[in-house]
Chain A
Amino acid sequence: MSAQHIPSATVDPQAQPAIEMIDVHKWFGEFHVLRDINLNVRRGERIVICGPSGSGKSTMIRCINRLEEHQKGRIIVDGVELLDDLKRIDEVRRDVGMVFQHFNLFPHLTILENCTLAPIWVKKMPRKEAEEIAMHYLTRVKIPEQANKYPGQLSGGQQQRVAIARSLCMSPKIMLFDEPTSALDPEMVKEVLDTMVGLADEGMTMLCVTHEMGFARQVADRVIFMDYGQIVEMNTPDEFFKNPQHERTRLFLSQILH
């Protein structure tokens, strides 16, 4: 687990890590939910995070776009350190897309409006251009024909693909996935995973909390196992699944892989 921190200014931006987390701690009241998190994510790297529920995996990736606030340590996203500065936080959020377990689409807006809202209001893009981009990404997630429906009229898998397209419309540099398939019916999981695999193939930097170990094997560069708020083990998927080192990892894997 490397925490070698190179001062950001001296390196060229391509070599600079996409995300750096240095000694990050977080508490919910008295409960120490994140402990000593150190993580460097390279550009274009795909990371899968797994672990039992309550292990802090969601909290960790939610810290990256400041949906949760860390109380100790440093988080640097794309060269911008997350501090209390609201303006910089909004800048980071613009570059970091997030897909939620429960989609969090806006039910009062159509699919197209869901996708164009942020480009129009945050990026000040002309409506027409925003709509073209939205249709491009909706085509990519294979639901352009649903553009004028409302989220409530779509199936769960379709809604999640819209949520992915909505994030992509902001042309993010990093995508965070917080259990994107956990709320889906079994027959809809594949269509969402296929979309994510496509995204990974294009070189998007991805952090993905998921229990889909097939997906981890197929696309991840690194798999992280978390428990009790700590990173317990981190390895390439081959090594992680074949040769888990930590006892808790072995226990966890034995429970989810039959």
Chain B
Amino acid sequence: MSTAVDMPRFVRAREAEALPPPNLARGPIAWVRENLFSGPFNTILTLVVFYLLYISVPPLLNFLVFDAVWTGADRAACRADAGGSESGACWAFIWDKINYFIYGSYTISERWRVNIFFSLLAIGVVWLLWLKAPRRDLGAVYFFWVFPVVSYILLTGGNENFSVRFWIGFAIFGALIIALFAFVSALLKTSMRPALILGGGIVAVIGVTLALVDFNFGLEHVPTSLWGGILVTLLVATVGIVVSLPFGIVLALGRRSNLPIVRLASVIFIEFVRGVPLITVLIMANTMLPLFLPGDMTVDRLLRPLIGTALFASAYMAEVVRGGLQAMPKGQYEGAMSLGLNYPQMMSLIILPQALRIVIPGIVNTFIGLFKDTSLVAIVGIFDLVKTIEASRIDPDWAAPTIGLTGYAFAALFYFIFCFGMSRYSLGVERRLAAGQKR
């Protein structure tokens, strides 16, 4: 049969129909051959991996599950010389200490408040992260304002008893904020009304927050030195995540700003914080922050590392977000500007939604890093989960060879569940956002 190439002239007489693809080999054996043993190198790799799995997985399962001790009241259960089993994890120890791991030394009669905090946190996270949840705008208000205020009052007890002097100071501060907004709007020659409403709104929100914190709800005061365990770990991680994303975005925008002072300030902050280990930041926040503040002002000892981790994560977040902003084609800015959108509208409606989508893997990477870095707050004497485990494993009641291993296995499991959850969620979001917009 001749083809069109052979002939100088060709006119198709019969349409070539679309046919199904040729029947490729299917089934498990074909799959194994194609994916695991497709060549000598691949075959060797497969065998090596199988061997590594063989020597690592069964002992791990034996330790964690099959040989593990699940019940018991003290060390006897986990010691061979006292009639127990010595080769497996001592989960009885975790079970016995679980309240300490969750709440630290939080006043026992008040631990219901921590439980409410956990539930509120779960509600907020689900509301914001479940993309089909109703009224996610209200969810944002809940998560970024209602939840922090309620949590603060619940966890500390509220009733701050601000002095009259404090309220006078706040009034002056509020007036200054409103004046600043009016000044900026006059500087940019935009209309005055929205600026005044925005400034007034910010002052009002801060005022209501302070009044709520000031109010006596009759809750017993629990000092932060008693907090510990998962409570502190989740608190530091949540505050870090919630602060670092918006603050990182602001820093990234600042670094790309046309205003030299804003740009310089952002660059100095980012480069300084990134150039210093987190431990140093924490120690500085702990010991040096009080030196910079006026003598009569003290910062809570939990708040110091909280600020330290949040700022540290912000600097990393800023660089991640900057990567996304740089990936945006100039045409998107021009398209937005040509329609008359002003800078905040252009950034919030056009640029950031796309730029942040590009860097979701980087953002989640930073979140996961932050979540695990919270264990470093132990350096400055905060009893996070790892520190509570450290403190418990030397308890003489539970002196047994497997106690330390069990404790760290528990911590590993806890961190893994949260980090893996974040990772899977971000993959889901990426897939969902990519669905409509494939090019």
Asked if B188 CB lies within 8 Å of chain A CBs, one says: yes
Q: Which of A84-124 contact B (CB under 8 A)?
A: 85-87, 90-91, 93-94, 96-98, 100, 102-108, 110, 117-118, 121-122
A170 is contacted by which of B331, B340, B349 (Cβ under 8 Å)?
B340
Q: Distance (Å) between the CB of B186 and the closest chain A CB? A: 12
Whether A106 contacts B341 by the Cβ 8 Å rule is no
* B277-300 contact mask (Cβ, 8 Å, vs A): 1 or 0: 000000000000000000000000
Question: In whole Å, how far is A146's beta carbon from the nearest beta carbon of chain B?
Answer: 13
The one of B332, B338, B354 in contact with A67, judged by C-beta atoms closer than 8 angstroms, is B338
Cβ of A112 to closest chain B Cβ, rounded Å: 13
Binary A-proximity of B309-349 (CB < 8 A = 1, otherwise 0) = 00000000000000000000001101111111110010001
Number of chain A interface residues as a range: 20 to 34
Are A152 and B190 closer than 8 Å at their CB atoms? Answer: no
**A46 cross-chain contacts in B, Cβ below 8 A:** none
Bin the interface of chain B by size.
20 to 34
Contact indicator A166/B339 (Cβ below 8 Å) = yes
B70 to chain A, nearest CB (A): 51
Chain B positions within 8 Å of A151 at CB level: 437
With A86-B188, A93-B339 as given contacts, are A107 and B354 in contact (CB-CB < 8 Å)?
Answer: yes
Is A150 in contact with chain B by the CB < 8 A criterion?
yes
Do B437 and A90 touch (CB < 8 A)?
no
Does A181 belong to the interface (CB within 8 Å)?
no
| Identity of the chain B residue whose Cβ is nearest the Cβ of A101 in the assembled complex | B331
| Best-surrounded residue of A104, A107, A122, A170 (most CB of chain B within 10 A) | A104
B304–chain A nearest beta-carbon distance, Å: 40
* A93 contacts B437, C-beta separation under 8 Å: no
Chain B residues with CB under 8 A of A96? 338
Residues of B within 8 A of A91 (CB): 340
Contact of B27 with A by CB under 8 A: no
Is the beta-carbon distance between B345 and A86 smaller than 8 angstroms? no
Chain A, Cβ-Cβ closest to B438? A152
**CB proximity of A207 to chain B, nearest CB, Å:** 13
CA distance A91 to B331 in the complex (A): 20
Give Cα A121–Cα B349 distance, bound, in whole angstroms: 10
CB closest chain-A residue, reference B188: A86
Partner of A150 from the list B345, B357, B436 (CB cut-off 8 Å) is B436
Contact partners of B345 in chain A: CB under 8 A: 121-122
Q: Can you list 12 A-B pairs, Cβ within 8 angstroms, ordered by A?
A: A87-B188, A87-B189, A91-B340, A96-B338, A100-B335, A104-B331, A117-B341, A122-B339, A150-B436, A152-B439, A153-B438, A166-B339
Extra pairs beyond A106-B350, A106-B354, A122-B339 (4, CB < 8 Å): A65-B338, A91-B340, A96-B338, A100-B331
